[in-house]
Structure 1
Amino acid sequence: MNVNQNKKVLFLTDMENGLEPILQEVTNTPAENMLTIQSYGAAISHPYGEIMRSVIFAIYQEDVEEVFVVGTKDKRTSTGYGLTQLETMKDKIQTLDYLFQHCKPEFLGGTVDEWLNENNSGTIEKSVDIIRQHPLVPSYVKVRGLIVDHKDGESSIVEVPSSKTGQALPDHCLS
Structure 2
Amino acid sequence: MKIEQSQTERHVLTVTVDNEAGILAKIAGLFTARGYNIDSLTVADISEDHAVSRITIATKGPPPVIDQIMAQLERLVPVHKVTDLTEAGPHVERELALVKVAGKGEHRVEALRIADVFRAKVVDTTTESFVFELTGTSDKIDSFVTLMRELGLVEVGRSGIVGMIRGAEGA
TM value normalised by structure 1: 0.28
Bigger helix share: 1
TM value normalised by structure 2: 0.28
Larger Rg: 2
